[in-house]
């Protein structure tokens, strides 16, 4: 198992924001938190490949958005935030060591944070960063490889993975108020604690589920359902409208 990450840019405070009010970010603390996140991934069995920070790209630490990694191919996305498109080249170069690389084309828009994979099914959020044309283009790209794409309707959140994440064992952690759960009826759905609406972003790594340490009630729900939950402090990174899935690409 490989986890591709990228260093925190000192320009992170100039990140793109859609739903959150801008707050000062302690960059040194964010760097330490990211290192702790990488160490947690390594402790769970991942070989962490950390790419250098891109100082001209504040959001570059969030490597999930420029790419979708499937079994044999990595798809480089068009990125709904135009300011982030310069992040793609070095990430694509690294991914080419492990997968064939194909590129989506403008004017369609799509970001990896809007794509939740469950086996051969890709659930794709229609969001401020991903449009209908992006979903259609992705569907056309993956169909010959045996994958299916299902559009998901969102509200009040940045990406699909802000609202729901596959955590293994046929289970999805979800905030039903942010996403229409109708297409997910075949899975076991665990709802976030009502007082923790942003807790649905969680990352399956090996046999564990990684989530931020600021959502203890939701963590308790996962533990009660039999999941091995590991928490990490990513509070400064979360000010940039991120979650734990955003900062790595897991290749297995």
CA distance 49 to 209: 20
CA distance 14 to 76: 24
- Catalytic residue check, 246: yes
Strands (E), 34-187: 47-51, 67-69, 73-76, 100-103, 115-118, 121-126, 148-153, 164-166, 171-174
Locate 89 and state its tokens: 């080249």
CA distance 31 to 205: 21
CA distance 89 to 152: 28
Residues paired with residue 18 on neighbouring β-strands, in sequence order: none
Contact 241, 61 (CB under 8 A): no
Query: Of 57, 159, 164, 165, which residue is the catalytic one?
Result: 159
Mind telling me the catalytic residues? 159, 246
């Amino acid at each position: 198992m490989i986890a591709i990450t990228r260093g925190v840019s000192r320009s992170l405070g100039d990140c793109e924001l859609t739903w959150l009010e801008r707050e000062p970010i302690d960059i040194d603390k964010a760097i330490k938190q990211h290192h702790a996140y990488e160490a947690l991934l390594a402790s769970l069995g991942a070989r962490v490949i950390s790419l250098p920070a891109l100082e001209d790209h504040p959001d570059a630490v969030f490597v999930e958005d420029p790419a979708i990694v499937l079994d044999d191919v990595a798809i480089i996305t068009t990125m709904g935030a135009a300011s982030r498109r310069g992040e793609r080249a070095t990430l694509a170069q690294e991914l080419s060591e492990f997968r064939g690389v194909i590129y989506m084309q403008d004017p369609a828009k799509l970001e990896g944070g809007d794509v939740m994979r469950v086996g051969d099914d890709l659930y794709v959020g229609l969001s401020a960063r991903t449009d209908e044309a992006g979903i259609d283009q992705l569907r056309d790209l993956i169909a010959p490889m045996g994958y299916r794409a299902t559009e998901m309707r969102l509200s009040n959140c940045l990406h699909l993975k802000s609202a729901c994440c596959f955590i293994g064992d046929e289970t999805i952690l979800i905030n039903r108020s942010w996403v229409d759960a109708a297409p997910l009826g075949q899975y076991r759905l665990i709802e976030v604690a009502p007082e923790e609406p942003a807790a649905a972003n969680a990352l399956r790594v090996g046999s564990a589920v990684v989530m931020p340490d600021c959502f203890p009630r939701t963590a308790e729900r996962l533990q009660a359902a039999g999941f091995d939950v590991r928490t990490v402090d990513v509070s400064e990174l979360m000010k940039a409208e991120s979650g734990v899935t955003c900062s790595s690409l897991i290749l297995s």
